[in-house]
Amino acid sequence: MSTIATPASLTYVEATDFVSAAAGALARLSSAGGSAPSVGGAGADGVAASGASAAAGARSMEIDLAPLVRFDSSAIAAFVAIERRAVERGVELRFLNAPPNLRKLATLYAVDSLLFGG
């Protein structure tokens, strides 16, 4: 299992770079049979990667939303795009530690169950 963390800010300005970095992690995860140990090109405000595959062949990734303090609807669009890419690659994706206002925004756009289950 691989875990990546969002930057503190995920607005229109940062969304494209975050989607690209997460897509790269998904590609490495699916092509490496389960391990996507790092997300390349991450800077201080970029994507931080941690963890490794719990078992060879595990095709799952988590995105930790805890660092997220500033966001707009672009964050929701980014997460939907990443979810779509995960489905295309057969990778199970989970979003963790969603801030309450992000959940409210996802509910407003009717994608809360897609992103956060239930």
CATH topology of domain 2-116: Transcription Regulator spoIIAA (3.30.750)
For 1-118, list the strands marked E by DSSP. Answer: 2-5, 9-10, 48-50, 60-64, 70-71, 92-96
For 38-97, the pLDDT digits (tens) are: 333 343 334 444 444 344 346 899 999 999 999 999 999 999 999 999 999 999 999 999
Q: Is the pTM of this model over 0.85?
A: no
For the chain, what are the domain ranges? 2-116
For 73-86, the pLDDT digits (tens) are: 999 999 999 999 99
User: How far, in Å, CA of 90 to CA of 9, rounded?
Assistant: 28
Q: Which amino acid is at 32?
A: A
* Phi, psi for residue 45 in degrees, rounded to 5: -100, 10
Residue 72 class from Cβ within 10 Å (0-12 exposed, 13-18 middle, 19+ buried)? middle
Residue 112 has a pLDDT of 96
